[in-house]
């Protein structure tokens, strides 16, 4: 009897072990509830904000919108004081669209963006009216689909800034200029060139565009390189990393492209490469001034870097 009981226990234990093994290696075929993870695609998007010196500057913020008008609304919120999107703005900078401004409507047709704001849009100081327009125009025309902007305030077209009495063109684009500096001896043969200088706040590097309006009749490519080779003494907060010994040996301008050939002094001595700050200062200046999308940098006829506007 005892022997039969022991055999029975062995048989039960063996069967249990077999069942556990089967369940482990061959799980049931019942449908499993899968957990999915949604990933949000975040892009770095250019935006033009005010720095501590009250310049309109170029930096980037993270954005998630892909559709053009959705991105427009996202950027306008980021430019509006007191919006929750302000949390994406670096602490060193500030938004400029007045608090509680609402975008009543917007539309985009054939590259023309129409924006209709609430009356709060113009609640800025006299000296900031033009900066408000510059910030908005330069931010939104970074979007490739947007070529020009038309502004409305409560359905009325904005033609004149109410306090400064500055007249606005029918449509706004980057020809409007930014952080304008005038050095004019006569009103004939005026030249407008936008130069991107470098600014630094703590560990943050950004770009400060200055539109210079003067009577300089030199080629605009030469003007840009010459200006960046000699950072202006009277503005110590505007920097350029382009060495004074750099020589522009040759250049070629096509419809949407500029090719530049330099001597070796344009290269960083330590690494023999082109500094990002030098590349972007030159390329952004050419992009705004000549309306080109591609810039090619060469040394000894060898391409060392390229810039392509997105």
What is the DSSP pairing of strand 294-299 with strand 302-308?
antiparallel
Report yes or no: 198 and 208 within 8 Å, Cβ to Cβ. Answer: yes
Task: Measure the CA–CA gap between 154 and 139, rounded to whole angstroms.
Answer: 22
Output the pLDDT for position 9: 52
Question: What is the model's pLDDT at position 19?
Answer: 52
Question: Who wins on pLDDT, 138 or 19?
Answer: 138
- Residue pLDDT, tens place only, 72-128: 999 999 999 999 999 989 889 999 999 999 999 999 999 999 999 999 999 999 999
pLDDT of residue 13: 53
Q: Is the pLDDT of residue 194 over 50?
A: yes
Q: Residue 38 — very low, low, confident or very high, per pLDDT cuts 50/70/90? A: very low
* DSSP secondary structure string for all residues of 146-183: --EEEEEETTEE--B-TTT-PBPPSSB-GGG-SS-EEE
* Cα–Cα–Cα angle for 70, 137, 194, rounded to 5 degrees: 135
> Pairing mode, if any, of strands 43-50 and 248-253?
unpaired
pLDDT given for residue 186 in this prediction: 84
Per-residue model confidence (pLDDT) at position 112: 98
* End-to-end Cα spacing for the chain: 88
Two tokens, residue 111: 């590259």
Given this model, what pLDDT does residue 6 score? 45
Q: Which residues pair with 213 in a beta bridge?
A: 182, 192
Residue 189 confidence (pLDDT): 83
Mean predicted lDDT score pLDDT of the chain: 87
Widest Cα–Cα separation across the chain: 124
Q: Is the pLDDT of residue 30 over 70?
A: no
- Distance, in Å, from the CA atom of 283 to the CA atom of 304, rounded to the nearest integer, reads 14
| Per-residue pLDDT, 185 | 82
Q: What is the average per-residue pLDDT within 212-221?
A: 92
Taking only the tens place, the pLDDT of each residue in 262-273 is 999 999 877 889
- CA atoms of 249 and 47, how far apart (whole Å): 34
pLDDT for res 270: 76
Residue 232 has a pLDDT of 56
Output the pTM of the full model: 0.84
Is the pLDDT higher at 209 or at 11? 209
Q: In whole angstroms, give the CA distance from residue 152 to residue 165.
A: 16
Exposure string for 181-205, b = 16+ CB within 10 A, e = fewer: eeeeeeeeeeeebbbbbbbeeeeee
Quote the pLDDT of residue 236. 60
Closest Cα to residue 247, out of 228, 231, 266?
Answer: 266
| Residues 82, 61 contacting (CB under 8 angstroms) | no
**Stretch among 17-31, 174-188, 236-250 having the lowest mean pLDDT:** 17-31
pLDDT of residue 93: 95
CA distance 163 to 171: 20
Question: pLDDT category, 235, cuts 50, 70, 90?
Answer: low
The residues, ordered by sequence, that sit 6+ positions from 87 with a Cβ below 8 Å of its Cβ are none
Q: 28 pLDDT exceeds 70?
A: no
Q: What is the pLDDT of residue 309?
A: 83
């Amino acid at each position: 009897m005892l022997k039969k009981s022991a055999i029975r226990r062995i048989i039960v234990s063996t069967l249990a072990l077999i069942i556990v093994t089967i369940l482990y290696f061959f799980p049931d075929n019942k449908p499993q509830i899968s957990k999915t993870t949604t990933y949000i695609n975040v892009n770095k998007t250019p935006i033009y904000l005010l720095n501590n010196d009250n310049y309109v500057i170029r930096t980037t913020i993270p954005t998630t919108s892909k559709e053009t008008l959705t991105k427009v609304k996202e950027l306008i919120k980021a430019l509006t004081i007191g919006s929750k999107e302000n949390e994406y703005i670096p602490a060193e900078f500030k938004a400029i669209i007045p608090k509680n401004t609402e975008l009543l409507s917007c539309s985009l047709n054939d590259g023309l963006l129409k924006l209709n704001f609430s009356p709060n849009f113009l609640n800025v100081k006299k000296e900031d009216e033009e900066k408000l327009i510059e910030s908005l125009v330069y931010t939104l025309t970074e979007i490739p689909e947007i070529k020009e902007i038309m502004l409305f305030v409560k359905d009325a077209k904005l033609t004149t800034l109410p306090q400064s009495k500055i007249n606005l063109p029918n449509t706004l684009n980057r020809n409007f200029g930014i952080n304008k500096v005038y050095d004019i001896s006569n009103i004939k043969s005026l030249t407008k060139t936008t130069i991107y200088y470098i600014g630094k706040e703590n560990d943050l590097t950004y770009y400060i565009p200055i539109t210079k309006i003067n009577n300089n009749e030199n080629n605009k490519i030469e003007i840009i390189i010459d200006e960046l080779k000699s950072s202006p003494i009277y503005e110590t907060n505007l920097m350029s990393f382009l060495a004074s010994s750099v020589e522009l040996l040759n250049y070629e301008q096509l419809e949407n492209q500029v090719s530049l050939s330099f001597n070796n002094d344009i290269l960083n001595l330590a690494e023999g490469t082109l500094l990002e700050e030098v590349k972007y200062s030159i390329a952004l200046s050419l992009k705004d001034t000549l309306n080109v999308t591609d810039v090619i940098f060469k040394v000894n006829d060898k391409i060392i870097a390229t810039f392509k506007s997105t």
